Amino acid sequence: MEKINGRLLNWASILEPATREQALTTATMPFIHPHVALMPDAHLGLGATVGSVIPTLGAIMPAAVGVDIGCGMIAVRTQLTRNQLPTDAAPVRRAIEAAVPLSAGVYNESVELGHTQRRVADLEERAMRAEFDPASFVGSWRLQLGTLGSGNHFIEVTLDETDRVWLFLHSGSRGVGNKIAQHHIKVAQALNTKWWISLPHKDLAYLVEGTDEFWAYIRQMRWAQHFALLNREEMMDRVVTAFEAWVGEGVERQEEINCHHNYTEQEKHFGKQVWLSRKGAISARHGEAGLIPGSMGTASYVVTGKGNPVALMSSPHGAGRAFSRSAARKRFTREQLREAMVGIEYRDTDAFIDEIPMAYKDIDQVMLDAADLVEVRHTLHQIVNVKGD
């Protein structure tokens, strides 16, 4: 761990100068208590650094939570092992792609499945309690439940160190969560301008606890967090069904982990109740299960938290980008992507060049940096990868 100053502690051995400066700027906000913790996967983000843990007193910065509210991972450990799987993995990849709508702006045509309807009803009830209508942000929000999105979101069939099969996926609150976040970022910016508050960066605009705007954000953010959780559950149900058809037998869910990495919760740290925003970080309390994915083509990890108090009981959420998407497209080729994905069933397309493993930090180094934050329980290697364009 590196103590950059009294308000910023860093666990990243690979840290770009611009990322360091961004985190230093965030740490100057007057309501930070006691310090910002930079995780090993830290990289440049909107307003606040991705891979940062930000405790605040009496205020929330919506951009420091992130625009994909509740984004996270879910994993299911099955009873099956590698030698029980069919040799050709292409059919299960195609079946998953047919069952789960992929890519930005691609949603379900209708809400027909019983489990989907139950989850939609749950969200409708929660929206009523939160005193808002999600359709005021996105009219088709119901059709977004059970959809993946694009970018670094993925669905995978993986094997652990004992060749046990795990199903693993990464996604968040889709368009509706993004619209909720963007709305409240603008509300915060407008209020800070109205109150003549000088900010080091406009995306560090904040809402003051006790105001109507603050509590409206909290209610709607919590709704989006729950949407993201149910979205992952819904997709996992569909993935399990596709997987069962491929292997010809039912799946026993011997373990299931579902965790956020873009969210805020009230927690007690260093003697005070704070709003703890984890933007690209997972909770890692002592004994708590968590998931840390690598990039496509690299390992992912099932971990247990060590409850490190200085790190605000948090850990990294993945590899963290080393190159922006545009820089990765200029630097890497489709042939390099193919080389990185040897032995993994995936859709071979130019669309994924910006997701090539070399566009990310070395996940092995990230996990080495996280040694005092989490204990690795399982190391997962992909055999099937599904992504949206």
In a domain, 312, yes or no: yes
pLDDT digits over 297-337, tens only? Answer: 899 999 999 999 999 999 999 988 888 899 999 999 999 99
In a domain, 337, yes or no: no
Q: Chain centroid to CA 312: how far?
A: 18
In a domain, 343, yes or no: no
- In the block, tokens 């840390």 appear at 292
Sequential pLDDT tens for the chain (389 residues): 999 999 999 999 999 999 999 999 999 999 999 999 999 999 998 888 999 999 999 999 999 998 999 999 999 999 999 999 999 999 999 999 999 999 888 888 888 777 888 999 999 999 999 999 999 999 999 999 999 998 889 999 999 999 999 999 999 999 999 999 999 999 999 999 999 999 999 999 999 999 999 999 999 999 999 999 999 999 999 999 999 999 999 999 999 999 998 999 999 999 999 999 999 999 999 999 999 999 888 999 999 999 999 999 999 999 888 888 999 999 999 999 999 999 999 999 999 999 999 999 899 999 999 999 999 999 999 999 999 88
| pLDDT for res 389 | 85
Q: Where are the alpha helices (DSSP H) in 195-268?
A: 212-247
Nearest C-alpha neighbor of 65 from the set 275, 252, 346: 275
Domain that holds residue 65: 2-322+360-378+381-385
In a domain, 344, yes or no: no
- CA–CA dist 370, 255 (Å, integer): 23
153 catalytic? Reply is: no
Nearest C-alpha neighbor of 284 from the set 372, 343, 168: 372
DSSP states of 292-339:
E---TTS-EEEEEE---TTTTSEEE-S--BSS-HHHHHHH--HHHHHH
- CA–CA dist 113, 290 (Å, integer): 29
In a domain, 345, yes or no: no
Instruction: Identify residue 328 by its one-letter amino acid code.
Output: A
| pLDDT for res 217 | 97
Q: Is the distance from CB of 287 to CB of 304 less than 8 angstroms?
A: yes
Q: How many CB atoms lie within 10 A of CB 32?
A: 18
DSSP states of 128-192:
HHTT--GGGT-TTHHHHTT---STT-EEEEEE-TT-EEEEEEEE--HHHHHHHHHHHHHHHHHHH
Q: In the chain, how many domains are there?
A: 1
In a domain, 84, yes or no: yes
- Beta partners for 276? 55, 265
- CA–CA dist 162, 57 (Å, integer): 45
CATH code at position 172: 3.90.1860.10
* Exposure b/e, 356-376, CB count within 10 A at least 16 = b: bbbbbbbbeebbebbeebbee
Measured in degrees and rounded to the nearest 5, phi and psi for residue 81 equal -120, 170
- Specify the 3-state DSSP secondary structure of 365: helix
Q: At 120, list the tokens.
A: 């939609």
Q: Is the distance from CB of 104 to CB of 296 less than 8 angstroms?
A: no
Burial of 185 (0-12, 13-18, 19+ CB in 10 A): buried
- CA–CA dist 360, 256 (Å, integer): 27
The catalytic residue among 153, 317, 378, 381 is 317
In a domain, 342, yes or no: no
Q: Is the distance from CB of 1 to CB of 9 less than 8 angstroms?
A: yes
- CA–CA dist 331, 326 (Å, integer): 9
| pLDDT for res 259 | 94
In a domain, 284, yes or no: yes
Our separate counts of H helices and E strands in the chain read: 10, 17
Q: At 341, list the tokens.
A: 């994905």
- Specify the 3-state DSSP secondary structure of 58: coil
| pLDDT for res 321 | 86
